[in-house]
Structure 1
Amino acid sequence: MSDLIYLRGYPEQILQQVSQLIHKQQLGDWLAKRYPAQHEIQSDLALFDYVTELKNRYMRNVSAISKVRYDSKLSVVHHALGLNVRKAQLQGNKIRRKHDIIIASVFRETAPEFLRMIAVHELAHLKEPQHDKAFYQLCTHMEPAYHQLEFDFRLYMTQRDLVRKSQNTEE
């Protein structure tokens, strides 16, 4: 179960079920069946428009987003699927606040549901900085299946690592 680094903290029963899928080489098929499509939001501009639309639909009273972009340097293993960066700039007598959202580039190649999950997560940080009850309530308000999508994305990352390991051993 050392391959289940993305599932640390989940109950042993869940880990055993995932291990069985992996052992039977069925995890990839299960994920492909559940999430057959890949989204088409590939550019930073399209990502900005997508996230801004979600923000305007669910969080009108929160200040505007300055920038949204993909970043290949975010370390998924170190729990950085996305970042919410707040900046304050002094312009004359006024302080201008900027909110930037950075999303790991791994989301470029995922199902639209996973992109929505991370976008909702980062948007929720605009209002709730901590991962507390209010934060997760806001996430599930914007995406009712948030918790399932987060878990399934962890399965996706597990499968992705397994595929990479098998490709490296074949070389």
Structure 2
Amino acid sequence: MPELAYIAHYPEHLIDQIRRLVNEEKLGKYLLSKYPTTHNLTSDKALYTYTMELKSTHLRKSEPITKVLYDGKINDINDALGLHRITIKNHGGRLRSKSEIRVATLFKSSPEPFLRMICVHELAHLKEREHNKAFYALCENMEPNYHQLEFDVRLYLTHLDLFGKLY
């Protein structure tokens, strides 16, 4: 039986259910039944617009974002699905900060709720730097179904590892 690293910290009864789906090769069918289609936000410009709409709806007073883009190196280098980065530069004695969000390229061909979950997660880092209760409360405020989506993204990643592309 393959190791289910993405869901290893969940309760054993959930892991057993996922193990059964994997053994019966039904994990893909389960995911497709919940998320039958992918989104069409495949360009960096479309991703930027999408993320800025989420930001303007939920985080109007947070710091500005200068870049939002897909990054093919994230999964390999950082073992992450998205990154929020702040760079500070000195321009003539004045400090300027820039915020950017990078999303793993694998989300170019994923269901839209998965992309939304990653964007919400990275936007929440504008207000809360650490993964604490306030951070997850903010994520739930922006996306009420956040925890279920996070779990389903973990199932999606498990499927990718074991069986390859789903969409």
Question: TM-score with structure 2 length normalisation?
Answer: 0.94
Distance in 1, Cα, partners of 2:42 & 2:78:
24
Q: What is the 5 A alignment of 1:75-94? A: 75=75, 79-94=79-94
Distance in 1, Cα, partners of 2:159 & 2:77:
14
Aligned to 1:134: 134
Aligned to 2:74: 74
Q: Residue 41 of structure 1: CA displacement? A: 0.3
State the number of aligned residues: 165
Whether the 8 Å CA contact 1:3–1:158 is kept in 2: the answer is no
Q: In 2 relative to 1, CA 76–138 (structure 1 residues): closer, same or farther, beyond 3 Å? A: farther
- Aligned-residue CA RMSD in angstroms? 1.6
Whether the 8 Å CA contact 1:28–1:159 is kept in 2: the answer is yes
Q: Residue 22 of structure 1: CA displacement? A: 1.0
Distance in 2, Cα, partners of 1:76 & 1:110:
18
Aligned to 2:44: 44
What are the superposed Cα offsets for residues 128-161 of structure 1, whole Å, 9 maximum, x if unpaired? 0000000000000000000000000100111111
Q: Residue 2 of structure 1: CA displacement? A: 3.6
What are the superposed Cα offsets for residues 80-134 of structure 1, whole Å, 9 maximum, x if unpaired? 1011110111222422110010110011010000000000000000110000000
**Matched residue of 1:33: which SS?**
helix
Structure 1 stretches of 4+ with a deviation exceeding 4 A read none
Q: What is the 5 A alignment of 1:8-23? A: 8-23=8-23
Letter in 1 for 2:144: P
Distance in 2, Cα, partners of 1:64 & 1:78:
24
Q: Percent identity?
A: 47
Distance in 2, Cα, partners of 1:93 & 1:10:
50
Q: What is the 5 A alignment of 1:1-171? A: 2-75=2-75, 79-164=79-164
Letter in 2 for 1:63: E
Question: TM-score with structure 1 length normalisation?
Answer: 0.92
Where do 5+ consecutive residues of structure 2 fail to align?
A: none
Letter in 2 for 1:30: Y
Distance in 1, Cα, partners of 2:76 & 2:118:
12
